[in-house]
Structures are given as structure tokens and as C-alpha cells.
Amino acid sequence: MNEPKIIGVIPARYKSTRFPGKPLADICGKPMIWWVYQQFKLAKGISDVFVATDDQSIANVCEDYHMKYILTSDKHPTHLDRLAEVAEKIEADFYININGDEPLMKPEYIECLLPNKSIDPAGFYFANAMTKIVKPVEVNDVSRIKIATDNQGYALYLARTPIPYPKASSNFDYMKFVGIQCFTRSALLFCGKTPRGKIEGIEDIDEYRFLENGEKIKFIEIPAETLSVDTKADLEVVRAVIKRRISSGEIVFYNEQ
């Protein structure tokens, strides 16, 4: 049996409401998107990696740093719609997405989302990473999406507020969304043809497009030390972490040669 074709995709848009130009923010002399791309290229099992952007300035940076990219429509309301366009343009068995604001991502985290051999590439499959919240301040941080799953790891509900609510017990771990996702092509094409739902719009959580239409999301726990950059304060934290990793020799760089 042939190995599945797995494409890595990094959605990146310039016109973020809270943080314009975020993918190009400088981290130790390199743009943020470059750090994400580097770690993606080091992950095992990935056939190729593309930045998906609607902005020419990001495309120009991709060319400068020899990163493959796809120019997409600037009309997409969410990253899922952008990924759906990529699935239309590039045929693959699976697509693994990492948000362009996850520069602390490590290859081993990405590999946790690689589909096992029981997953049918022709079927409908969507998996998302999650990890335990270790900093209490994140529980009430609305930029951190919290997750509640059933006993098989499928999403029951997602929220920006603390879930589940600790009315009868506080003896549990809060879980938060991590921006690594794996889709079959049919799952992404479903996103492209399905309009945003009511709860998706209210919570501003794209993944509700699946739940509101009766589709499952498999959540996979990973031991992630990661931080999505949503604010300038997040950026300063990430800069300090990457600087420390460089000094300690922890960071390995991908060599095209």
C-alpha cells in the first residue's frame, strides 16, 4: 500500500483585527511565519508544506525565505474556508494545518496528528490537537478556546469561557485548543460549501461549522508547550522562549540541501 500524501498548510493573513501583520512579526531576526514553516518541514510524514495567504506582502516574504506558498482569495471569512480552497487546488489524502501564529510548535507535536492507517483517506475525518491548561490565568482568557470531549475524545462543545463549569467539582483539568488540525479532503471541501452557523458566529470558533452540522471532531491530547500569538504581549513571551531555545541548542533548523 502506498504511503498517503499528506500536505502541510499554514494559513496566514495580514489584516488581523487585533494584530495586523502578525505573520511577519519579527522573532529573533526572522518573520513569525518562517518559524512555523521551519518546524513543519522537520516533521516526519509530511509530503510538502505550503503557506496559504491572500496577501502579496506575505507571498513576497515566502519567496525571500524560499517557502512554498499559495495565493488564495481575500474573501474567506475563516481559515477553514482558506484551507478548503487549498484542497480544491492541491489534491492530497490528508491536510495538516498549523496556524501561522504558532511559532513555538515542535515537529513531534505535528506528528501526533498524523492519521493512523485505519483512517480512510476517502472518508470524512477531522482531528484537532488539545492540551492541558497549566496556567490558571488561561482558564478565563477568551483568546484560549476550551474543550469538553466525550469518553472517546470527540468534541461535545467548545467555548471561550471556562468549560465545564466547576459547580459540583473542581477536580479536573481544563483542556485548551492547540492550532494543529488534520483533515481529509472531503472534510475540507465540506467547509468550503457550508455556510457559517449561528454558534460559530457567536463564539467566533470556526470548528463549530462541523458540530452544528452533525459532524464529529476528534480531539487528540498532546504534551504541548506552545502559545498562539494573539497579542503583542504574547509575542514578547514567544521571543523570549525562542531566544532561550536558540541559546540552549534546542532548536534545530531545516536544511533544504
Domains of the chain: 6-129+176-248 (3.90.550.10)
pTM of structure:
0.91
Please give the average per-residue pLDDT across 210-233, as a whole number. Answer: 90
In this structure, are residues 182 and 121 in contact, taking their beta carbons and an 8 Å threshold? no
pLDDT at residue 113, as a whole number = 96
Q: Which residues, including other chains, have CB under 8 Å from residue 78's CB and lie 6 or more apart?
A: 196, 206
Cβ–Cβ contacts within 10 Å for residue 153, how many?
15
Q: Which residues, including other chains, have CB under 8 Å from residue 28's CB and lie 6 or more apart?
A: 239, 242, 243, 246
What gap in Å lies between CA 54 and CA 59, rounded to an integer? Answer: 8
Read off the amino acid at residue 211: L
In this structure, are residues 99 and 189 in contact, taking their beta carbons and an 8 Å threshold? no
Cα angle 21-109-18, degrees, rounded to a multiple of 5: 20
Cross-strand pairs, 53: 12, 71
- What would the grid cell of residue 234 be? 504574547
Cross-strand pairs, 26: 31
Q: Return left, alpha or beta for 228; rule: phi > 0 is left, psi -120 to 50 is alpha, else beta.
A: beta
C-alpha 27 chain-centroid distance: 19
Using the predicted structure, report yes or no on whether residue 257 has a pLDDT greater than 70. Answer: no
Task: For the chain, give the mean pLDDT.
Answer: 92
pLDDT digits (tens, 9 = 90+) for 160-219: 999 999 999 989 999 999 989 999 999 999 999 999 999 999 999 999 999 999 999 999
What gap in Å lies between CA 256 and CA 254, rounded to an integer? Answer: 6
Q: What is the 3-state secondary structure (H, E, C) of the chain?
A: CCCCCEEEEEEECCCCCCCCCHHHCEECCEEHHHHHHHHHHHCCCCCEEEEEECCHHHHHHHHHCCCCEEECCCCCCCHHHHHHHHHHHCCCCEEEEECCCCCCCCHHHHHCCCCCCCCCCCCCCEEEEEEECCCHHHHHCCCCCEEEECCCCEEEEEECCCCCCCCCCCCCCCEEEEEEEEEEHHHHHHHHHCCCCHHHHHHCCCCHHHHCCCCCCEEEECCCCCCCCCCHHHHHHHHHHHHHHHHHCCCCCCCCC
pLDDT digits (tens, 9 = 90+) for 6-54: 999 999 988 776 778 899 999 999 999 999 999 999 999 999 999 999 9
pLDDT digits (tens, 9 = 90+) for 82-100: 999 999 999 999 999 998 8
What gap in Å lies between CA 56 and CA 42, rounded to an integer? Answer: 26
